[in-house]
Amino acid sequence: MVAVMFPAAGSGKRMGAGKNKVLLPLLGAPVLIHTLRRFSSVHSVDFLIVIVGKNEVDEVGRILEKENGLKPYKIVIGGSERQYSVENGLKALPEKADIVLVHDAARPLISEDTIEKVISVAREKGAAIAAVPEKNTIKVVESGIITDTPKREKLYAAQTPQGFRRDVLLNAYEKARKDGFLGTDDSSLVERTGISVRIVIDDDKNIKLTTPNDLKIAEAYLEGENQCE
Ligand code: C5P
């Protein structure tokens, strides 16, 4: 059984909309609904865990109730950091879930193809994440001074979904808690347990909506998709 967790409990300060960015409208539906629809149309996805802020549980509940065709879901209250939000989600995992995906709710443009590939590599190898080859030259900077320029061929931007066998992810979260480690994605927690994490090359479209400009880009992509249908 495949369960997918959607951390959506961020404050969305950089979006500057005064409310959770995943509840903002995008071509007629909240960003969160776009994201959940994409996962619900993947046959092998069985269960959705939507992680939101304490004050948003009722609103999100109403929005999800109105939407037909979603896979079975549960709404969970998040924490003060993304990692703590996912940790709360893990407590709500159905017993039968042997593969767990984590996907930023703020990435509504994810393709079904990438979701399926991440599930299949996670099942076969234990851990897999969506990633794109880095186009920029990345600098390591300390106190305003560049201290390193890593070789670009080796750099990939990590995206979501990130998928793991259940035991792999639970062990990683337990170790992070014990060590007081706070990461910005789930893979970084798994990497420190010594497990090899594979990448699934994704397309540039799977952006994380962060600023108002990203909403416009997402709208343009969706309009393009609708015209192709
Ligand atoms: O802040 P950022 O865009 O990196 O967050 C990525 C995802 O994690 C977003 O969908 C956001 O809602 C979620 N998040 C969360 N709990 C937090 C912070 C972020 O669920 N405390």
Q: What residue ranges define each of the domains in the chain, with the CATH number in brackets?
A: 2-223 (3.90.550.10)
pTM: predicted TM-score of the whole model, two decimal places: 0.95
Q: How many CB atoms lie within 10 A of CB 211?
A: 12
Per-residue pLDDT, 140: 98
* 10-residue mean pLDDT series, the chain (229 residues): 95 75 93 97 98 95 96 97 96 97 97 98 98 96 98 97 98 98 97 98 93 93 82
**Residue whose CA is at the smallest distance from ligand 1 atom 1:** 10
Using DSSP's 3-state secondary structure scheme, residue 168 falls into helix
* Residues at CB less than 6 angstroms from ligand 1: 7-10, 22, 51, 78-82, 85, 104-106, 208, 210
Per-residue pLDDT, 14: 75
Pairing of strands 145-148, 99-102: unpaired
**Residue whose CA is at the smallest distance from ligand 1 atom 14:** 10
**Residue whose CA is at the smallest distance from ligand 1 atom 21:** 81
Peptide bond before residue 94 is cis, with ω within 30 degrees of 0: no
φ and ψ at 37, to 5 degrees? -60, -45
C-alpha of residue 7 to centroid of ligand 1, in Å: 6
d(CA 169, CA 165) in angstroms, rounded, equals 7
Per-residue pLDDT, 20: 87
**Residue whose CA is at the smallest distance from ligand 1 atom 7:** 104
